[in-house]
Amino acid sequence: MSRTALVENVSAMLQDAGFRVSERCAIRPKSFDVAARRGEELVLLKVLGNVDAFDAQTGAEMRRLGEHLSATPMVIGMRTRDEELKPEVVYFRHGVPAFHPDTAYDLFIEEVPPLIYAAPGGLYVNIDGELLSEMRQGRDWSLGKLASELGVSRRTVSKYEDGMNASIEVAVQLEDMFDRPFTSPMDVMDGAEDVRDAQPTPAAPEADPSDEHVVGVLTRAGFTVHPTVRAPFKAVSEDEERHGRDGATLLTGHSPFTRSAEKRARIMSSLSEVTRTRSVYFTEEQETRDSVEGTALVSCEELAATNDPEAIRELIRERAAEPGEA
């Protein structure tokens, strides 16, 4: 199956699951393919045939975008270099959860989250440590007794009860021993933070030198600007005065307004609908239009003509569509 067909299939599945799906980000470079929202759930999806093609720079950008947009970054793919991805198993690439389309179907359509994740050394599951402690004590077993039955150390059993995850083999042993499951589903919609790579969100890149004057104006207007590298927009800019409210975040672009830039502005408009943001494209020349499908067009000349932060906010509000109305 081609990657285009795979993206289309995943998008159709999300729509069947009740998600509003953005237009595909059919431009390069791109850190994700589509954004999708269902209620308060927002996901940024990268769709690949081979998930090993997902590199560290893209992973870092998707994790940053997830934080700035309150979204969960995900990768959906068919295989690694060595094998097909196993259904019902979550893998990780550069801190981003990755899984097979069948696992995505179970998660989004059937609303059955996966139990298993892959990590160096094999496949693992979350163990309900409190339940394990309760069942062990109910049998009047010591930590040493349970350790002996499992063939592990006393310290390992103590860690299981404190919340450490276990191999599938240990989980099966426990289920056979106590005649009940001890596994709990992975919270993939929160990025599976409890088991993904233990590393902070990567630092933001420096702004492109050609964007510095735009960044300066937005900063003076009270926005915190987060530059991007591979997104369909140049930055995510948060209005600190309206922090946490719909429309308080901007997807911003900047360049001479060519045909390619107009295409980018249309994609930004679709993304802003789904992410509940506004979108604005700063142009090097004065445009006759005020917007492109909800993405505001503001010339750098207009920006330079005012030092009033509220006037800049009002200009963007007048020309950009309200979140969800593009």
Give me the CATH number covering residue 81: 3.40.1350
Q: Which of 279, 290, 288 is nearest to 325 (CA)?
A: 279
Identify the band that residue 206 occupies on the pLDDT scale cut at 50, 70 and 90.
Answer: confident
Residue that has been written with the tokens 């309900």 in this structure: 128
Q: Are residues 104 and 59 in the same domain?
A: yes
Q: Are residues 152 and 253 in the same domain?
A: no
- The count of other CB atoms within 10 Å of the CB of residue 120 is 4
Q: Which of 253, 255, 254, 248 is nearest to 223 (CA)?
A: 248
- The distance of Cα 33 from the centroid of its chain, to the nearest Å, equals 11
Please give the C-alpha separations between residue 31 and each of 124, 132, 197, 253, in angstroms, as whole numbers. 28, 41, 19, 15
Question: Which pair of structure tokens corresponds to residue 289?
Answer: 């239009």
Q: Are residues 12 and 105 in the same domain?
A: yes
Q: Are residues 256 and 307 in the same domain?
A: yes
Q: Are residues 43 and 85 in the same domain?
A: yes
Among candidate residues 82, 114, 146, the one where a domain is terminated: 114
Residue 240, domain member (yes or no): yes
- The count of other CB atoms within 10 Å of the CB of residue 309 is 17
Residue 290, domain member (yes or no): yes
Whether residue 17 contacts residue 47, with contact meaning beta carbons closer than 8 Å, is answered with no
- Asked if pLDDT for residue 84 goes beyond 50, the answer is yes
Q: Which of 1-5, 109-113, 206-210, 315-319 has the highest mean pLDDT?
A: 109-113
- Distance, in Å, from the CA atom of 256 to the CA atom of 313, rounded to the nearest integer, reads 22
> What's the structural domain count of the chain?
3
Residue 203, domain member (yes or no): no
AA identity, residue 134: E
Please give the C-alpha separations between residue 246 and each of 202, 277, 312, 314, in angstroms, as whole numbers. 25, 6, 18, 16
Q: Are residues 110 and 131 in the same domain?
A: no
Among candidate residues 62, 88, 114, the one where a domain is terminated: 114
Residue 224, domain member (yes or no): yes
Q: Are residues 233 and 306 in the same domain?
A: yes
pLDDT (average), residues 110-115: 93
Residue 200, domain member (yes or no): no
pLDDT at 197: 63
- Asked if pLDDT for residue 326 goes beyond 90, the answer is no
Q: Are residues 315 and 255 in the same domain?
A: yes
- Distance, in Å, from the CA atom of 200 to the CA atom of 13, rounded to the nearest integer, reads 32
pLDDT at 259: 92
pLDDT at 286: 85
* Pairing mode of beta strands 278-283, 295-299: parallel
Whether residue 108 contacts residue 82, with contact meaning beta carbons closer than 8 Å, is answered with no
pLDDT at 324: 60
Residue 251, domain member (yes or no): yes
* CATH classification at residue 142: 1.10.260.40
Q: Are residues 74 and 15 in the same domain?
A: yes
Residue 191, domain member (yes or no): no
The structure's pTM equals 0.88
Q: Are residues 110 and 137 in the same domain?
A: no
Residue 232, domain member (yes or no): yes
291 torsion bin: left (phi>0), alpha (psi -120 to 50), beta (else): beta
Q: Are residues 166 and 226 in the same domain?
A: no
pLDDT (average), residues 232-259: 82
Q: Is residue 29 reached through a cis peptide bond, with omega within 30 degrees of 0 on the bond before it?
A: yes
Q: Are residues 176 and 213 in the same domain?
A: no
- Distance, in Å, from the CA atom of 41 to the CA atom of 70, rounded to the nearest integer, reads 9
- The count of other CB atoms within 10 Å of the CB of residue 317 is 13
* Residue-number span of the structural domain to which 295 is assigned: 209-319
Predicted confidence (pLDDT) per residue in 86-106, tens digit: 999 999 999 999 999 999 999
- Asked if pLDDT for residue 243 goes beyond 70, the answer is no
pLDDT (average), residues 221-235: 92
pLDDT (average), residues 225-234: 93
